[in-house]
Amino acid sequence: MSTGTPHSSHWGAFRAEQTPAGVRVTAHPDDPEPSPLLGNVAVAATPTARVLRPHVRRGWWEDGPGPDPRRGSDEFLPVEWDELLDRVAGEYRRVLDEHGPQAVFAGSYGWASAGRFHHAQSQVHRFSHCLGGAVRSSWTYSHGVGEVLMPHVVGNQEPLLSPTAWSSIEAHTDLVIALGGLPAKNSEVASGGISRHEVAGRLRAARARGAQFVLVSPLRDDLAAELDADWLDVVPGSDAALLLAMCHVLLVEDLLDRDFLERCTAGADVFLASLRGAGDGVEKTPEWAAPLTGIEAGRIRELARRAARGRTMVTVSWSVARTRFGEQPLWAAVALAAMLGQVGLPGGGFGHGYASTGGVGRRSGSYPLPTLPQFADPLRLRIPVARIADALLHPGEPYEVDGRRERYPHLRLVHWAGGNPFHHHQDLLRLRRAFQAAETVVVHEPFWTSTARHADVVLATTTTLERTDVGAARYDDRLIAMGRVHPPLGQARDDYAVLSALAARLGVGERFTEGRSAEEWVEHLYEQWRTGPAARAGISAPRYADFIAAGEFALPPEPAEKVMFASFRADPGTYPLRTPSGRIELHSQTVAGFGYDDCPGHPVWLAPDEEPDEEFPLRLIANNPATRLHSQLDHGATSQAGKVAGREPVRLHPADAAALGLADGQVVVLRSRRGSCLGGLLVSDAVRRGVVQMSTGAWFDPVAGAAAGVSCGYGNVNVLTRDIGSSRLAQACTGQHAAVRVEAFEGTPPRVTVFDQPTASGRSAAAG
């Protein structure tokens, strides 16, 4: 590698060095296609938008804890570390003594660092477990539907986490049907790091061999143009109807693999009967699906026939399931692959998440990586991650999930580290009211995100560039010695130092730290891994000092090309799935027994319950951004270069733009039933007519919004989206779609304020 300090990120390994002009970042030389997101890294080493010292919200400091409508608009006061930590520890004691650990929410989403020790989620959970536990979240915003559904259908989450390898697709697949596409922008990122970006190259190699691609998406650029894909510009939210119609073609034309259905599936008779109209009296023909999907019946019929002619891989992006009733397209894709009889064959079957992240379809180490122990959770109380606003707004109320009837706990103290719910969550005005309902909100943040601005206590924390760590991911092929690139800015401390100080004040300091500094922990975790899991796996890893000197350690390749469910296919009796039947469940008696009309026992068509109308005539696609990971480093060079008129881009088909009298580059207003935001218009024929596309991750700016008469003046699309679960089965995120209208913004757009330091009186909290 080049000169500089080795480091890693979720979007790639690199070296960084401090220069008079700032931090210079150089991609890892072994990376065939480095991510442009590396261009955002340097801004983290500047004071822009940084929390440079701990702060407290004036209302909380002066009036004490309690629900407060000023949260999110109140001024902040700087305060000394010891004084603030004393106050936070006192609040912890109050809440635990009066209400118990079930009144504390330990929030974290895990994307703050690629390092194994400075993993904020592990840190905050270890801390809470030392105190008797806390309420935590279960599942993810990204693929919560699959995390709940797949165990019912195939017995585990393997299709999400470790499906058939890309190398198998490259070598054997004849036809890839990509629902939601295989967007290169998403494959540039992988949790824990990705040192070689290979997805685009694998796809090119498959195409060069002769593989064909069909893109099923409202966005043409969800698959690279060089793959020469057939584009089915489907109506958003209609994927399940398309898949069911394809299944109907296989059934009526006898193109299905009856032997596979008999040997390897359960409930096929119920599902096949539903295609013929059992239950609702409607045959799921291509003619039935055509007006729902916007795809001609003949094209649907021909696609089903093409799928039956060769080795076919059906892929469903995480985004397709991140919708209302998102369980249905995912389950229907499994059914289609099962009817084709190709599950368990090289290059065939199905997957969920190919190119939704760079790790899916890559190696998956069979041994643990260095991990900070979190201790057992004494409380074991979870809520679905996408239901945090419900919990804060409706304490004690019942809800259903995965066959269980639960009640939301009464959360009084929210302690958030390593996450930004004002990015991930939907209906941000509702989330704002939810945060205002808490009694105390404590946030660890390097940056003045909206989560920090809606907190009572903002603990200034370091970025990954200011710490040492071991970077590793189970999808990656090396460990990176992440060195400190520059010292902490201002008074920032790492999460471990903050939690250690709180733990000491609460009487659990020794248990939390075990007497080790952060640097000692990093070495301990590495050596524990080297002499334990690595040694048992036959990996001869260098000692820690040698690892640091080398900057990285290459892991041995996995021995065999992964083909998901190959053993099961060969012998279902010897290698059964962990479902009640031991087979793929095309009809699940378990799910049917839950009695959910929004997720019955087999794949069905459920029409979206928010459709365009006269007031909101356009369909919004709120997808992942191409210029940053989630909302991270939105003020970085790559992210800022992608803005239009200083706002988040809004893409609209030329015919729609012309009908609305809108021009490329213009500042526009998007409105839904929940909120409104500004954006910068991009006119593009890569978007289906009647569709608006705007990516998530622009920082929520209600200050500029108020000046413009909208909810957000910068372009956070989640002021428009709905905060409602996918169904009672998964209660997962549905932030992909909404009904909206677009109109010209009249007047001069206000200045964006989200990267400014917050309003403060100039006095310290101690001064009153």
Known active-site residue 111: yes
Q: DSSP for 432-490?
A: HHHHHHSSEEEEEESB--HHHHT-SEEEEB--GGGS-EEE--TTSSEEEEE---SPPST
Query: What span, in angstroms and rounded, lies between the C-alpha atoms of 279 and 423?
Result: 40
Beta bridge partners of 19: 22
SS3 assignment, position 324: coil
CB within 8 Å of 703: residues ≥ 6 apart = 713, 753, 754
Q: Which residue type is seen at 596?
A: Y
Do residues 397 and 87 lie in contact, with contact meaning Cβ atoms separated by under 8 Å? no
Q: H or E element: which one contains 78?
A: strand 76-78
CB within 8 Å of 505: residues ≥ 6 apart = 85, 86, 89
Do residues 484 and 467 lie in contact, with contact meaning Cβ atoms separated by under 8 Å? yes
Helix H, strand E, coil C: the string for 187-206 is HCCCCCCCCCCCHHHHHHHH
Query: What span, in angstroms and rounded, lies between the C-alpha atoms of 167 and 134?
Result: 42
Tell me the H-state helices in 210-326.
239-252, 258-264, 268-275, 286-293, 297-309, 318-321
CB within 8 Å of 594: residues ≥ 6 apart = 400, 402, 403, 728, 729
Nearest to 236 by CA among 292, 297, 303: 292
Catalytic residue among 60, 111, 231, 399: 111
- Angle, helices 286-293 vs 297-309, to 10°: value is 110
Count Cβ atoms within 10 A of the Cβ of residue 258 and give its class: 0-12 exposed, 13-18 middle, 19 or more buried.
exposed
- Copy the structure tokens of residue 168: 């198998």
- Copy the structure tokens of residue 193: 């790091």
Counting every residue, how long is the chain?
768
Q: Tell me the HSE value of 706 on the side-chain side, using a 13 A CA sphere.
A: 6
Phi/psi for 13 (5° steps) reads -85, 150
Burial 580-596 (b: 16+ CB within 10 A, else e): ebbbbbbbbeebeebeb
Do residues 54 and 79 lie in contact, with contact meaning Cβ atoms separated by under 8 Å? yes
Catalytic residue among 60, 61, 92, 109: 109
CB within 8 Å of 550: residues ≥ 6 apart = 481, 542
Query: What span, in angstroms and rounded, lies between the C-alpha atoms of 752 and 705?
Result: 9
Query: What span, in angstroms and rounded, lies between the C-alpha atoms of 117 and 8?
Result: 13
Nearest to 413 by CA among 430, 396, 391: 391
Sign of CA dihedral 446, 707, 432, 148: negative
Phi/psi for 79 (5° steps) reads -150, 155
Known active-site residue 166: no
Annotated catalytic sites, by residue?
109, 111
